[in-house]
Amino acid sequence: MTQAAAGTANQARARLAGRVPAGRNGPRPAWLARPAWLRSWAAVAFVVATVVTGALERWWVGAHPIGVVTGDTAITGLMALHLLRHGQLSVYVWGQSYGGSLEAVLTAGMFAVAGVGTAQLAATCALSSGLAALALWRNGRWVVGERAAGLGALVFWVWPASFIWRSLKPGSTYQIGLAITLCAVGVLARARKGQASWALLGWGGLLCGLAAWSTPQCLELLVPAGLWFLPTARRLGRRLLALLPGAVAGASPAIVYGALHHWSNLHLPGGGHSAWDGMAGRLAQFFRIEAPLAMSLRIQRSFQWVGGPLGMVLAWLAAAGALAVVVAVASGRAERCRLPVLTLALLPVLFALNPLASHVGQARYVLFGASMGALLVGVGIDNAGPAAARAGQVLRRWLALQHQAQGRRPRLWPPGRPWRLARHHLAVWPLAVALLGALGATALSQAPAAGLVGFPSPDAPLPVNDHDLQVLVAEHHVRDAYADYWAAYRLMFETQEAVDVAPIEHDRNPVLSAKVAASPKPAYLFVAASATLGRFVAWCHQHAGGADVWRQGDFAVVQPATKVLPGQVPRDALP
């Protein structure tokens, strides 16, 4: 055996043993090896540039008004503060019987290391979105292949405007839940390819249980993955039982909560009687609004088409062309496209069965299924390189024939030199990812801040900047107050619980509300433009002995002369 053959045999044995040679540094685990498609420095530079671009997009969102903290997102920060300072952690997000608290745990870790603040809260969510993209790559390679999964993850990182925006909006049910669910799908894919050991299946069951606790949106991926996995499940026999203990362990917080709360976490969220209520309307909404939003063809909240009416026509033509390319690609790669295609086929139905999806319009309830769409786009980009190479070769031959017919020597490419695109496709990858990234950035930049974060409070939009309100409560030593929902939890987090603020309606934390109600004289916080301010002050002068009113900028603080609770005030004076 020659020395080269011996080296090749050693490398093969190292791969079978789960290790790859690393020269003078000795063997290292296979998962640390650089993928084959990243062996060239040009490919590494392309990946680094794409990752930096996605990070800059998130930085822009964080610095832009559309990235400010809202009442919903502040709850994750408050949960992290309660865990860090008081050791208190609820199973679910405050006021819900769905949506696990794992993101609050990660946020508490960030606060412990980097301090408490809105920047740290947003950074935790952004890092979680990075974990989701990484999970899409590392687990998608078992579905569509190494290179297509990597390209799909890069596309997912820079393209869907809704995903980028939500990467800065903590919600406790999105980024971490997506990462866990993708890992669960990756385990099922590995088992389908023959790696169905007891330990792997137990790990897969744990991930499925964690995903079920984290968010009900995991069904967008787990239902099609289960159907895709069904033929393998029949062959596993008793080994399939390894999924059960892991699933019970992962879902144990939800199981314990259900046992203690009459299984309220099994009821459909949204207050609907049945998943069938309004299903037809949500199905129409999916194709009319949610799917274009998920593809960055429409703008969040305004629902305008990117580029206007012409953009609508071009967008749908581009979508039809992309679908044709994907179908053509899938016909030759049917196996690795099967799960993404099945996921996208079931997504409209699963979306329509979700009662919460009828009143949102931010593509948040198609986020999980959209990740498989990104993998399908990765397959298309992966195959676009060879297709372009073949087109280039056809062009080269045609030009050569034209030159020969004219009696000239062909000079477009030196004879015998292979076309470089056929080797590394680096003329196609950056172009495709850049076009999609530009589409996502355009949709993101045109999103109206007033529509995304300027919620009515209650009859006037809450200003994007609430610095004046923070100054007011600090100057007048307000420690307990009531406010509209969108201002209450946001102010409480921004002041790091220096002020306890309970919402007048939509209470998510009864313990906090009871603490504010026990205060001797809680204050009331208003948007100055709200008509309720004048009505409440007039009521206080008639029934509470008067009130002090302090104004600054767009906000006002009212301190009644005597203790006033929201239940004492008529609905027309304090809705």
Tell me the pLDDT tens digit for each residue of 251-287: 999 999 999 998 988 887 766 567 788 888 899 999 8
Q: Looking at the predicted structure, is the pLDDT value of residue 24 above 50?
A: no
Distance CA 290, CA 202 (A): 35
CA distance 389 to 368: 33
Strand order in the sheet with 547-552: 500-503, 480-483, 523-527, 555-560, 547-552
Q: What angle do CA 164, 377, 15 make, to 5 degrees?
A: 100
CA-to-CA distance for 430 and 519, rounded, in angstroms? 60
Residues 6+ away with beta carbon under 8 Å from 139: 149, 182, 183, 185, 186, 187, 189
Spatial contact of 488 and 505, defined as CB atoms under 8 Å apart: no
**Residue 169: pLDDT over 90:** no
Beta strands in 41-120 (DSSP E): none
Tell me which H or E stretch contains 549: strand 547-552
Contact 421, 430 (CB under 8 A): no
* Of 407 and 3, more confident: 407
pLDDT-derived band at 320, boundaries 50, 70, 90: low
**pLDDT exceeds cutoff 80 at 356:** yes
- Asked if residue 104 has pLDDT above 90, the reply is yes
CA-wise closest residue to 258 among 250, 266, 246:
266
Rounded-to-integer distance, Cα 117 and Cα 120, Å: 5
In contact, 176 and 207? CB cutoff 8 Å:
no
**Burial bucket for residue 33 (CB in 10 Å: 0-12, 13-18, 19+):** middle
* Greater model confidence, 271 or 543: 543
Mean pLDDT of 446-462: 85
pLDDT, mean of residues 474-500? 94
**Residue 312's pLDDT is what?**
72
Q: How confident is the model at residue 36 (pLDDT cuts 50, 70, 90)?
A: confident
Angle between helices 367-405 and 308-332 (to 10 degrees): 80
Residue 419, pLDDT above cutoff 50: no
For residue 311, give the H/E element and its range: helix 308-332
> Can you tell me the distance from the alpha carbon of 278 to that of 287, in angstroms, rounded to the nearest whole number?
15
Band of pLDDT at residue 452, cut at 50, 70 and 90 = confident
pLDDT category at 390 given cuts 50, 70, 90 is low
The token pair that represents 214 in the structure block: 């984290």
Residues 6+ apart with CB under 8 A from 286: 347, 348, 351, 352, 357, 366
Give the bridge partners for 305, in sequence order. 298
In whole angstroms, give the CA distance from residue 352 to residue 354: 5
Given a cut of 80, whether residue 35 has pLDDT beyond it is: no
Residues 6+ apart with CB under 8 A from 233: 240
pLDDT > 70 fraction of the chain, expressed in percent and rounded: 82
pLDDT of residue 219: 95
Q: Indicate yes or no: pTM above 0.85.
A: yes
Q: What is the mean pLDDT of residues 351-369?
A: 85
Strand partners, 501: 481
pLDDT the model gives residue 23: 44
Q: What residues contact residue 282 under an 8 Å CB cut-off, 6+ apart?
A: 351, 352, 354, 357, 358
Q: Assign 548 a pLDDT band (cuts: 50, 70, 90).
A: very high
Selected residue with higher pLDDT from 38 and 227: 227
- In eight-state DSSP terms, residue 427 is T
pLDDT of residue 161 exceeding 50, the answer is yes
What is the mean pLDDT of the segment spanning 538-550?
Answer: 93
Give the pLDDT band of residue 139 (cuts 50, 70, 90).
very high
> How high is the pLDDT of residue 249?
95
CA 272 to CA 281: how far, in whole Å? 14
Judged against a pLDDT cut of 60, whether residue 175 lies above it is answered with yes
Do the beta carbons of residue 480 and residue 519 sit within 8 Å?
Answer: yes
Q: Which of 305-309, 460-464, 555-559 has the lowest mean pLDDT?
A: 305-309
Mean pLDDT, the chain, whole residue set: 85
pLDDT band with cut points at 50, 70 and 90 for residue 323: low
The larger pLDDT score, comparing residue 361 to residue 194, is at: 194
Between vectors from CA 158 to CA 156 and to CA 162, what angle results, nearest 5°?
Answer: 75
pLDDT at 560: 95
Pick the closest to residue 140 from 101, 91, 85, 184 (CA basis): 184
Predicted confidence band at 201 (pLDDT cuts at 50, 70, 90)? very high
Instruction: Give the CB-side neighbour count of residue 510, counting CA atoms within 13 A.
Output: 2
369 burial class (0-12, 13-18, 19+ CB within 10 angstroms)?
A: buried
Check pLDDT > 50 for residue 138.
Answer: yes
pLDDT the model gives residue 359:
73
CA distance 492 to 516: 12
In whole angstroms, give the CA distance from residue 70 to residue 212.
Answer: 26
Pair of tokens at residue 156:
């997912």
Q: Is the pLDDT of residue 370 over 80?
A: yes
What 3-state class would DSSP assign to 461?
strand
The burial class, CB within 10 Å (0-12 / 13-18 / 19+), for 25 is exposed
